[in-house]
Structure 1
């Protein structure tokens, strides 16, 4: 099976908030790309980082571990993380791993913004 390299795109969601659109396969191999995207979002002063998984194709345990690393980095900066665009399968994985207790799950970026 060919692995599609993940790409991360950062966009502003207004003052104090940024979105990171995650496309492709989320594995440990894309850690540098995600951490760079987080750095870029943080540089804008974002205290809410919305991870948009709507273009994600696949995530393995290495990708879950990478999200935990991102969560720790965000907590050190007093940032909140939210996730949108997860399929039912990945929502269930977030719940089973209890990631949903630290990364809030929302249907849209607007609902993530409204919950802050």
Structure 2
């Protein structure tokens, strides 16, 4: 798994590629959580661009849940973008589609966060 951080129009975009599983979840969390603090300080939000994720286990979903809870406490927006069909199904089954606003693309997500 690789996680690259970019800033687009003032919004932090975490582009994740590969599998988010037991081996990579800690690295995913280490990239995600500090970005939430950075977004809070900048008064912006975070987009998780998951278009490159081919698999996410429950530990990856746990990181997203932690991010959602932290974002709520910090009053910032956290959204996801680019879900592949398998991951979209996992989001529906686990009801993460009720927790996160989901966009088709990272650019659409950035526009949504900017309001």
Give me the TM-score of the superposition, normalised by structure 2.
0.80
SS in structure 2 at match of 1:110:
helix
Task: Let me know the Cα RMSD of the aligned residues.
Answer: 2.0
**Paired residue for 1:89?**
86
- How many aligned positions are there? 110
In 1, Cα distance between the equivalents of 2:23 and 2:73? 23
Q: Is the 8 A contact 2:9 2:110 kept in 1?
A: no
Aligned to 2:6: 11
Query: Which runs of 5 or more structure 1 residues have no equivalent in the other structure?
Result: 1-5
SS at match of 2:24: helix
In structure 2, stretches of 5+ residues that fail to align are: none
Select the structure that is richer in helix: 2
Match of 1:103, SS?
coil
1:98 and 2:98 matched = no
Q: Deviation above 4 Å: which 4+ runs of structure 1?
A: none
For the 8 Å contact 2:68–2:78, the answer to whether it is kept is yes
Counterpart residue number, 1:36: 30
Q: Is the 8 A contact 1:10 1:41 kept in 2?
A: no
